[in-house]
Amino acid sequence: MVIKNIFILLVIFFSITSVIGFVYASDIAYIYKNKARIDKNLVNLLSSSDLHVDYISEDSISKNLSSYKIIFIGDEYFSQPIPVKNYNAIIMNHYFGNKFGITNTNGVSKLSLTIPMQVDFEGKNLTVYNSVKDNYTDYLFYYYLGKSSKAPSTLSYAKTYNTGSGDLGDVISFIGKGSTLSTGDISSGNICFFGITQTNYWTQDAKDLFKDCADYAKLGITSNENTSSNSTNSTSPTNSTNVTNSNQTIICSKNSDCGADGFFGDNFCLGKNISRNYLTFTCNNPGLNTSSCSNKTNQKAISTCSYSCNNASCIQPPVCTKNFDCDDKNSSTEDLCVIISPGNQCVHNIYTNIIKFVSLTATSTTDSVTLYFSATPENNSIIKGYLLSMNKLNWTLVLSPTSSYTYAGLSPSTYYIFYAVAVDNLDRNSDEFNISVRTQDVIIPSVPDSPQSSGGGGGGSGGFSSASCTTQWKCSSWGECNSGRQTRTCSYPENFCDPNSKKPIEVQSCTEVKAEPEKQTSGNDSYPTESPKSEITGRSSLTGAVIGALGDYPLSFAGGFLVLIAMIYAFVKFRKK
């Protein structure tokens, strides 16, 4: 008996331990791709709300996650498909909006401001980041579901910063259980999209909004209990049909499990009524494994106008027949008497020329475009800043007095279209302007392929160069003098540009010189250069040598010399006597 009691106590102990472990491990499944990118700020925030977080690698997604109350998908590019439609989910991911069924093919958009980021929550602008730029000096941003992009079943919880012309879409959005996703699938759980992803800079308002998001994802969650009785005899054909398959999920047990009923969208006129769409959720076959959720949209009247409704507002009976009847003495408005069936009404506060966009210009490099913009306010208006976009999905607000903005990281030789809207201090917008800009081509420097040339024979060209052409004349040597003329040829290579200098001369005058034998002259006689050898007899060899040596001189000189010799000879003979 003691052993039996101990056995029963052990069974109870291990049963309780298993249940506690199951409950503890079934709060949130944090799905990640890179473990280093797990957001500790979020984990700490969830833990402070008594929610236990398990880390699930994307490679393990194929296992059953139904034991978790919520699955969390961060902003990573996952390789494996994540069955968001099957679970309650918090989505902080901008890559797979269409695949998750929360947007059409346009996907998730992004917005950055030059002031701390704000969201429109219940008509108030809440600051969600405590800084304008991150630690790397980049502007902070958040993601949003654009009005024309989000799934029709989404319910807006917080919208983008309101510039006066309206919001751009939902920064925080809910999709209830049983709703139709953009993929055509039916959601088996509650989904919250949360676009404020840069948690290092969250304000307390941002943290509170995230807790609201988590609360919505948990709304209506029930434990998947085994409804079969332990006393049921599974072998009995009668009782076997009453056993619920514990592997099948009960989608809902009551209407609230499928979502919260409520209004959504903007007001509109329906006859004389100001109406709004109202979404109602229904749990079909509640509490059974065949249960399912459905929703229906009805148009509910909010108020009824006594005369007529126009543009979601009640209008009064006709009060004018011409514009002058509507003058409200305000120079900042245009007062019109317009026909609104069945009568006329005065329309005021149509501001004219509040902001006049003066210029939108741009300069470009190979990988960037810089926009320059200016606008002129009128009627005591003040320019607050400029909304800029490169694709009309993501807008950046540049506050005055800044008058330029650079888009970097672009491709060379590519056309881009940029859009700009000026905003005044009352959040009124100017007309939209756009400009098409082409980034510059990448230029590879090259060296001109032209030959070096040298001037030929006297009078050749010096070969001057210029920025446009460096070709030079090349001349041949001067030819022989012929009939008082001397020639040469000057040219430059074919297929080269024309030289900048004039063509050198190719003809010049010259003097022709003829070679003749040299002559010696005396009077009118001429003698050959070489004299014939003379035979001298009866004379001394000296005399003959002298005469031979003087053969090249004139005859008169030789005669005088002979006379001198003769006189010397006579003088010597005379002395001997």
In a domain, 486, yes or no: yes
pLDDT higher than threshold 80 for residue 520: no
Between 68-72, 111-115, 161-165, 182-186, the lowest mean confidence (pLDDT) is in 161-165
Count CB-CB contacts under 10 A for residue 175: 29
Between 167-181, 399-413, 482-496, the lowest mean confidence (pLDDT) is in 482-496
- What's 139's DSSP letter? B
In a domain, 269, yes or no: yes
- What pLDDT does residue 523 have? 44
Name the 3-class secondary structure at 411: coil
If pLDDT is split at 50, 70 and 90, which confidence band does 439 have? very high
Domain end point (choices 192, 218, 244): 218
- Return d(Cα 440, Cα 258) in angstroms, integer: 56
Between 13-17, 66-70, 137-141, 383-387, the lowest mean confidence (pLDDT) is in 13-17
If pLDDT is split at 50, 70 and 90, which confidence band does 236 have? very low
If pLDDT is split at 50, 70 and 90, which confidence band does 372 have? very high
Both 64 and 161 in one domain: the answer is yes
- Return d(Cα 39, Cα 234) in angstroms, integer: 48
Both 290 and 378 in one domain: the answer is no
Between 121-130, 172-181, 387-396, 433-442, the lowest mean confidence (pLDDT) is in 387-396
Highest mean pLDDT among 241-255, 392-406, 483-497, 563-577: 392-406
The DSSP annotation for 351-400 comes to --SSEEEEEEEEEE-SSEEEEEEEEEE-TT--EEEEEEESSSSSEEEEET
- Return d(Cα 31, Cα 355) in angstroms, integer: 49
- What pLDDT does residue 222 have? 31
Alpha-carbon distances of 380 from 82, 170, 331, 332, 359, rounded to whole Å: 54, 33, 11, 9, 20
- What pLDDT does residue 349 have? 63
Largest CA distance in the chain: 201
401: domain range?
A: 355-438
Both 282 and 373 in one domain: the answer is no
Q: 170, 175, 176: which is closest to 156 by C-alpha? A: 170
Q: Which of residues 60 and 209 earns the better pLDDT score?
A: 209
The end-to-end CA distance of the chain, in Å, is: 201
pLDDT higher than threshold 80 for residue 286: yes
Both 272 and 179 in one domain: the answer is no
Element (H, E) at 556: helix 555-576
Could you give the count of Cα atoms lying within 13 Å of 64 in the half-sphere of its Cβ?
6
Could you give the count of Cα atoms lying within 13 Å of 478 in the half-sphere of its Cβ?
15
- What pLDDT does residue 164 have? 59
- What pLDDT does residue 384 have? 87
Between 80-89, 138-147, 225-234, 241-250, the lowest mean confidence (pLDDT) is in 225-234
Alpha-carbon distances of 442 from 157, 401, 438, rounded to whole Å: 48, 33, 12
pLDDT higher than threshold 60 for residue 103: yes
Q: What percent of the chain has pLDDT over 70?
A: 73
Q: Which of residues 27 and 454 earns the better pLDDT score?
A: 27
- What pLDDT does residue 47 have? 86
pLDDT higher than threshold 70 for residue 87: yes
Both 190 and 282 in one domain: the answer is no
Highest mean pLDDT among 132-141, 224-233, 509-518, 534-543: 132-141
- What's 532's DSSP letter? P
Q: Are strands 169-175 and 89-91 parallel, antiparallel or unpaired?
A: unpaired
Q: 389, 383, 397: which is closest to 426 by C-alpha? A: 383
Alpha-carbon distances of 2 from 7, 8, 15, 323, 359, rounded to whole Å: 9, 10, 20, 101, 95
- What pLDDT does residue 192 have? 95
Q: What percent of the chain has pLDDT over 90?
A: 28
If pLDDT is split at 50, 70 and 90, which confidence band does 540 have? very low
Both 14 and 69 in one domain: the answer is yes
In a domain, 562, yes or no: no
Compute the average pLDDT of residues 499-527.
64
Both 388 and 415 in one domain: the answer is yes
Q: Which of residues 467 and 236 earns the better pLDDT score?
A: 467
Q: 107, 109, 94, 113: which is closest to 388 by C-alpha? A: 113
pLDDT higher than threshold 90 for residue 200: yes
How many residues comprise the chain? 577
Between 69-78, 394-403, 466-475, 483-492, the lowest mean confidence (pLDDT) is in 466-475
- What pLDDT does residue 118 have? 92
Count CB-CB contacts under 10 A for residue 279: 19
Compute the average pLDDT of residues 229-234.
33
If pLDDT is split at 50, 70 and 90, which confidence band does 350 have? low
- What pLDDT does residue 514 have? 59
Residue 345, beta-bridge partner list: 338
In a domain, 539, yes or no: no
In a domain, 224, yes or no: no
pLDDT higher than threshold 80 for residue 362: yes
- What pLDDT does residue 494 have? 77
Domain end point (choices 218, 242, 272): 218
Please state at what angle helix 541-549 crosses helix 555-576, rounded to 10 degrees.
160
- What pLDDT does residue 532 have? 43
If pLDDT is split at 50, 70 and 90, which confidence band does 237 have? very low
Compute the average pLDDT of residues 175-184.
90
- Return d(Cα 56, Cα 38) in angstroms, integer: 11
pLDDT higher than threshold 90 for residue 346: no
If pLDDT is split at 50, 70 and 90, which confidence band does 13 have? low
In a domain, 414, yes or no: yes
In a domain, 136, yes or no: yes
pLDDT higher than threshold 60 for residue 254: yes
pLDDT higher than threshold 90 for residue 123: no
If pLDDT is split at 50, 70 and 90, which confidence band does 536 have? very low
pLDDT higher than threshold 60 for residue 16: no
Q: What is the mean pLDDT of the chain?
A: 76
Both 302 and 155 in one domain: the answer is no
Compute the average pLDDT of residues 373-391.
84
Both 375 and 402 in one domain: the answer is yes
pLDDT higher than threshold 60 for residue 342: no
Domain end point (choices 283, 315, 347): 315
Both 304 and 385 in one domain: the answer is no
Both 211 and 359 in one domain: the answer is no
Both 102 and 163 in one domain: the answer is yes
- Radius of gyration of the chain, Cα coordinates, nearest whole angstrom: 54
CATH of residue 415's domain is 2.60.40.10
In a domain, 130, yes or no: yes
- Total number of domains in the chain: 4
User: What are the tens digits of pLDDT across the range 290-301?
Assistant: 887 778 888 899
If pLDDT is split at 50, 70 and 90, which confidence band does 4 have? low
Between 148-162, 217-231, 404-418, 446-460, the lowest mean confidence (pLDDT) is in 217-231
